[in-house]
Amino acid sequence: MSTPQTMFEKIWARHVVAEGPGGHVLLYVDRHLLHEGTTAAFGRLAKSGRRVRRPDLSFATADHYVLTSGGSPAPDAEVRGMVEALARHTGDQHIVHFGVGEARRGIVHVIGPEQGLTVPGITLVCGDSHTATHGAGGGVSHAIEYAGSAIHAMSMDERMTVCNMSIEAGARAGMIAPDDTTFAYMEGRPYVPRGKAFQEAVER
């Protein structure tokens, strides 16, 4: 009989591409969320003569240096340059970009679920500073799975807030197993499969 696996272990195992010495593992990343603070990476790619391998799996938004009132970039020239560079680079690389004036633009770790980009069972990376915050406590180098009646009763927004706070415990990620609340929230989102494909995704 096989040893039961946690949800984290199952997702990890499904995404292992290669294993190297010293316990190092190369994981497949399903989605990549970008913001204007990550534009330097495009410059490095250009200098090396390379392009983004899977632009269809990358999505960008201007959120760190764009004012919420009116959506204009901050008046600083360097900051404006970063916002403009994100629009330019994503256009060149054919990456979906929620830029200034775009109704879907918002905080990078909020638009993922809102647009159906963040879905159960995937690996997702983002260069948002919050993902690198190290707090106090026993979460360091761990992923925290939340379960139980209190979690089950929460809305998706409440669940995402709990997972977001995992970072404050030093954890790498917070996770909640998908259920009917999750699927009801996901159905009909712009980048979520529809019809039969949605039902197949739910079963998977």
> What are the tens digits of pLDDT across the range 176-201?
999 999 999 999 999 999 999 999 99
Q: Do 174 and 117 lie in a common domain? A: no
Q: Do 31 and 55 lie in a common domain? A: yes
Tell me the residue range of the domain where 189 lies.
133-204
Nearest CA among 127, 125, 113 for reference residue 173: 125
The low-confidence residues of the chain, meaning pLDDT below 70, are 68-75, 129-136
Q: Do 179 and 141 lie in a common domain? A: yes
Q: Do 1 and 42 lie in a common domain? A: yes
Nearest CA among 145, 52, 68 for reference residue 100: 68
Q: Do 152 and 117 lie in a common domain? A: no
Q: Do 160 and 97 lie in a common domain? A: no
pLDDT of amino acid 5:
92
The answer to whether the beta carbons of residues 69 and 112 sit under 8 Å apart is no
pLDDT of amino acid 105:
87
Q: Do 175 and 193 lie in a common domain? A: yes
Of the chain, the end-to-end C-alpha distance in Å amounts to 22
Q: What pTM was estimated for this model as a whole?
A: 0.75
pLDDT of amino acid 134:
34
Q: Summarize pLDDT for 102-114 with one digit per residue, the tens.
A: 888 888 888 888 9
Q: Do 97 and 13 lie in a common domain? A: yes
Domain count, the chain: 2
Spatial separation of the C-alpha atoms in residues 65 and 88, rounded to whole Å: 16
pLDDT of amino acid 137:
79
Q: Do 158 and 106 lie in a common domain? A: no
pLDDT of amino acid 92:
94
Spatial separation of the C-alpha atoms in residues 19 and 15, rounded to whole Å: 11
